[in-house]
Amino acid sequence: MIDAENLTKKFDNLTAVDNLTLHVKEGEVFGLLGPNGAGKTTTIRMLCCLISKTGGEARIDDYEIGNVADQQKIRSIIGLLPENVGLYDALSAYKNLDFYGRMYKVKEEQRKERIEHFLKMLGLWERRDASVGTFSKGMKQKLAIARTLIHDPKVLFLDEPTANLDPEASRTVRDFILDLKKEKRTIFLNTHNLDEAERICDRVGILKTRLVAVDKPEKLRESLWGIKTEIQLDAVNDAIVAAVKRLGPWKIEIAGNKLIIGVSEPEKENPDIVDAIGKAGGRIHFVTQVSPTLEDVYLKLVRS
């Protein structure tokens, strides 16, 4: 659905996005992570035909980004939620959605149905005639997401959808995105929130002007960090460490009374490790699987 090959954007001497290659399948939720200034918003703007690309190629559906004849078609099949929601505070929630429905040429009957559907779904129907200026940030964000859906787009671009929201509002927005995911919409999400990316996204890419890594969140964690088994003991001694070392060429860390062992197949290896420690006189309190968070992976990649 979204294909980019060596997509590049330069502003004078500054390269904002450098040779970005990525492919997002239909119905996939793809998260783009990266620090401020990494080029996430620029990427979305290029893919939404808001700014031109300097190099490379990109397509959405069957339309080519950069081809003047395709620009309007691309904009008609995508929905964009920018970082700043940009609603009209002086207009009511209903009129905001109605305006965008008209801009996308949604027929009146359909427009009314969709506005009612989304406003009811988001719990805003009772406030439909109230000025958006009186809404909380969370309500505005929900309304802005409804705006991006008013023309039933094939692809959604969400730029930091939960930024600056309180935890409750973030959760409401996140749940709404998860509902959209169930509808098998293609969603391209920019976020700083790694927990959000992990919960929502099928795959994530880490962007630092260039795409540093891209995979499923769990695969990224495994490939960059490995799997670790943590064993809490009464006490760690040389005999225990030697017993574990004899089982395989694993990396072993000792942290107080804990042994942290880098394993490859925990289901097979953990019982042997537990057995060996027991035979070496160790008393085990707990055995736990240690998984790095996506944040750990992100920080490792971004800092490197």
Partner 1 sequence: MDLEIAWTVATKDLSIIRKKKSIFYAVIILPLIMSIGLPAIVWVVEQRGTIPDAILIGLLNAFSFFFVIMASLSSIGISSYSIVGEKVEKSLEPLLATPATDGEILFGKGLAAFIPTIVATYVSVTIFMILTDILTYAQLGYSYYPNLTIALVLFLVTPLAIILSNELNVLVSARVNDVRTASQLGAIMGIPFFVIYILAEIGLISLDIATFLAISAILLAADIALFYLSRTTFRREQILTRWK
Binding site for partner 1 (CB under 8 A): 11, 45, 48-52, 72-73, 75-76, 78-82, 84-91, 95, 99-100, 102-105, 131, 144, 147-148
Q: How far is the CB of 232 from partner 1 (least distance, A)?
A: 51
By C-beta, is 155 or 259 nearer to partner 1? 155
Q: How far is the CB of 71 from partner 1 (least distance, A)?
A: 8
By C-beta, is 99 or 125 nearer to partner 1? 99
Q: What is the distance between the alpha carbons of residues 146 and 142, in angstroms, rounded to a whole number?
A: 6
Q: How far is the CB of 94 from partner 1 (least distance, A)?
A: 12
By C-beta, is 144 or 214 nearer to partner 1? 144
| Cβ within 8 Å of residue 130, ≥6 positions away | 92, 93
Q: How far is the CB of 147 from partner 1 (least distance, A)?
A: 7
User: What phi-psi label fits residue 119: left (phi over 0), alpha (psi between -120 and 50 degrees) or beta?
Assistant: alpha
192 close to 160: Cβ distance less than 8 angstroms: yes
β-bridge mates for residue 186, sequence order: 155
Element holding 106 (H helix, E strand): none
By C-beta, is 14 or 303 nearer to partner 1? 14
Least Cα distance to 82 among 124, 51, 45 occurs for 45
By C-beta, is 77 or 263 nearer to partner 1? 77
Q: How far is the CB of 245 from partner 1 (least distance, A)?
A: 58
Look-up of token digits 């707990």: 286
21 close to 6: Cβ distance less than 8 angstroms: yes
